[in-house]
Amino acid sequence: MNSQGVDILKAIENFQGYLAHVHLNDANESWAGSGGIDFGSIAKALRDIHYKEYLSVEVFNFEPEPKTIAREAITYLRSVFA
C-alpha cells in the first residue's frame, strides 16, 4: 500500500472487517524496520481494531540473505507489536 500512495492507517480502519492476513515489508522492499515506514503506528492501528489474525513478512529484496532478514524482522516486529 505504501508504494501505491495508500493511507495505510485509514485503510486499516476502513477495511477492518475484511482483514484476515497482513503482509509487512518496508519502503525499501525489505523487512519491516529496515526502511522508513512507521510500523509503530501500524501496530497501534491493528491493536485498535482488535486484529488477531496473521502477520507475515514479505520481502522483495533478499539482501543481505534470508537468515539475516528473518532474524532482523522477527526482532523488530516483536519490539513493535509486543
| CB distance 34 to 72 below 8 Å | yes
Say what the pLDDT of residue 80 is: 97
Work out how many domains the chain is built from and give that number: 1
Say what the pLDDT of residue 3 is: 86
**Can you give the residue range of the structural domain that contains 56?**
2-81
Please report which confidence band the pLDDT of residue 23 belongs to, taking 50, 70 and 90 as the band edges.
Answer: very high
User: How far apart (Å, rounded) are the C-alpha atoms in residues 35 and 45?
Assistant: 19
